[in-house]
Structure 1
Amino acid sequence: MKELAGRLAAVDPDAGAAVTVITYFDRLAESRAGLEALVRGAAVLAGCPARLADPERRVRLRVEPDGRRADSEDAPGPGWPCAPLVPGGPPALWLERAGAPGTSVVDAVILERASAAVRAVLDRTRGRAPAPPVDDPALVETVLDAGAPLPARLHAARSLGLDGAGPDARVRAVAVADGPARIVADGRALPAAGRMGVGPAVAVEDLPRSWDAARTALRFTSDGGGQEPERPVVHADELGDVALLAALVVPGAEPAADVRAVEAAAADAPWMLRTLHAVASTASLRAAAGEINVHHSTLQDRLTHAEHLLGWSVRTPQGRFRLHLALTMRHLTRSQ
């Protein structure tokens, strides 16, 4: 490798220097060098101070180009060449090359090799960092595509940093209304993105299955318009076999007879839909009256009128189940 670096340097100095950098960090990695040795190597090779900062794992160190450690709490310069520890993550390794118009080829190779080696040491000694936000639409689309070859999906997952949480990590696909697909690590907060269907937690290779379930769950969400209860986030895990209804009810198709009955009743009175939803979603008629803020006797009068229009009683368990089913199918008919 040293001979190759010499030959390349005679033709292209940057290429020869890049090979030297690669060889140097490969040797450090093989010897299981520590963080300070890796940052020192970056500083010596670059000929300027190098610093590492990973607040989540409480790591902060800085080394001068002569090899002396000289930590600093100062903020990194905005123009310094830098690299993240995981794809898509925040900068964590800097070369303090002030005034440089851009990152040179050699600096880029130093940062790439040093950050990879630092990440390996931190993962081994201090645990893996949380996965970065997953927001590259093209890569996310590949990971979620069941028709894409598994190697292509796994490669896209690595590019997104999804392999950074270990082989036992679980992730969820998130379908967002009027927005790009998202992927979140299981247990982490969901993005603030309006109506969302959340798929089950799965291994990375099973994300297409989570995505299918997330898209189904999205159809059960509601923004509260049209007198429907607001339900901005629906988890596929919580739907159970109710999710099977989504496969039976095609958006825009001719509605079933009970759905048509609900539509006719809704057109008769402005309070109808809200009242029917309250009856279907609460534990008792008294609770339903409280939900829509009317007296119990007023609710009874409304239900008598509603039952006349619907053609069945909604005061029995069977009737309420039928009503709940009709309301759900009505929603699915209108959802995309």
Structure 2
Amino acid sequence: MKELAGRLTALDPDAGAAVRVIAYFDRLLETRAGLEALVRGAAVLAGCPARLADEKRGVHVRVDADGRRADDEEPADPAWLSAPLTPDGPPALWLEREGPAGVVDAMVLERAVASIRAVLDRTRGSAPVDAAGDQAFVEVLLDASASETARLHAARRLGLRPGVPARAVALAGGQALIQSVPPSGAAPPPGDPRAGVGPAVRLLDLPASWSAALVALRLTAEGTEQDPGPRLVRADQMGGLAVLAAAIGPGSDPIPDVHALDRAAAAAPWMLAMLDAVASQSSLRTAATALHLHHSTLQDRLAHAEQVLGWSVHGPQGRLRLQLALALRRLHHHAPAAAAVSDRPG
């Protein structure tokens, strides 16, 4: 398909772009993407906000041109480009700009509507037998605005049993998992993902578990020298850090202590990992063991780090200050951002 798009682009740029749009939505359907991913694709491909409003099913999704979910209650402008889900139905998908539609806009509307209709039929109407791992069903189950009937239908298709608690898991990159929690407790997500784990709840409360999992994800780290820390954080163990996370958004300015950590990171490649070990271990000796350093070597390096930071981390107050600074740094580095959408036409 890419080769065909390239050849068509050489002959007719609009035709090549249209083929890329078709290929893009075909890939989303192959990966069993959910409604938000489809609306996001329409917004980014068209270069303007897109919104889906299916009043019959109670579905409302709006995504801005940067790919961020941005729901609002304002009515759609009749002058915007739009398309119905059914031939004789009312407009349901809008591109928030006035017409006339060009070739790419028309193709985005056509392919997005066809894909959305397929997902709605699969998740809120008749569903396939093979639904395990289907992100569209996961999206429905985690959507607080979806009807109780639709969410219970999605839960059944995902193999989740009523009465058995479950939890949402937010993975780095935007994917969601739902895990049943047996009486003995659930195992961690498979592999070693960077993930935030929501609390165990009843099935209809999974949207709240998902919200908590997203907060926990922001407190995770890559586990590298430049981003040391836990790769997995459980929401029910965050405590007051959840309140701290709520105060740090994309536009928040880092406090001086976070800038001090950035200076430390620039001063030596081992600096942040050492400070994280000092903050998370019970003593300097256990920190030295975790870092595979001699105790005296750690003491020397820590003295250098304290000069860069501007405060001592030996006492309880200084150690708490370091712990908060590291948590704030993660929150700033992993602030809520637009989900990635690739393969723009053009």
TM-score bracket, normalised by the shorter chain, equals 0.5 to 0.7
Which structure is richer in relative contact order (CA contacts within 8 A, separation 6 or more)? 2
CA distance in 2, matches of 1:258, 1:230: 17
CA distance in 2, matches of 1:256, 1:218: 21
CA distance in 1, matches of 2:158, 2:150: 12
Partner of 1:274 in structure 2? 273
Correspondence 1:177 to 2:176: no
Q: Do the aligned partners of 2:226 and 2:269 also contact (CA within 8 Å) in 1?
A: no
**Counterpart code for 1:138:** A
Q: Point out the structure with the larger helix share.
A: 1
Partner of 1:146 in structure 2? 144
1:133 Cα offset (Å): 7.8
Q: Which among 141, 156, 159 is matched to residue 157 of structure 2?
A: 159
1:282 Cα offset (Å): 0.9
1:236 Cα offset (Å): 1.2
TM-score (normalizing by structure 1)? 0.55
- Bigger radius of gyration among the two: 1
Partner of 1:260 in structure 2? 259
1:253 Cα offset (Å): 3.7
Deviation per CA, 1:234-289, whole angstroms, max 9, x where unpaired? Answer: 22122222222221222464211111111112212222112211111111112222
Q: Do the aligned partners of 1:174 and 1:184 also contact (CA within 8 Å) in 2?
A: yes
1:137 Cα offset (Å): 1.6
**Counterpart code for 2:326:** L
Label 1:179 to 1:250 Cα distance change in 2 as closer, same or farther (>3 A): closer
Equivalenced residue count is 202
* 308-317 or 242-251, larger mean C-alpha shift: 242-251
**Counterpart code for 2:313:** V
RMSD of aligned Cα (Å): 2.2
Label 1:222 to 1:265 Cα distance change in 2 as closer, same or farther (>3 A): closer
Label 1:221 to 1:140 Cα distance change in 2 as closer, same or farther (>3 A): same
Partner of 1:124 in structure 2? none
Q: Which among 174, 181, 186 is matched to residue 186 of structure 1?
A: 181
Unpaired runs of 5+ residues, structure 1, are 1-131
Percent identity reads 54
1:234 counterpart SS class: strand
Label 1:314 to 1:329 Cα distance change in 2 as closer, same or farther (>3 A): same
CA distance in 2, matches of 1:284, 1:222: 22
CA distance in 1, matches of 2:251, 2:278: 26
TM-score (normalizing by structure 2)? 0.54
Structure 1 runs, 4 residues or longer, greater than 6 Å off? none
1:225 counterpart SS class: coil
CA distance in 2, matches of 1:268, 1:193: 29
CA distance in 1, matches of 2:282, 2:159: 45
2:240 counterpart SS class: helix
Deviation per CA, 1:169-221, whole angstroms, max 9, x where unpaired? Answer: 10111112225311110134434472221111111110100010111111122
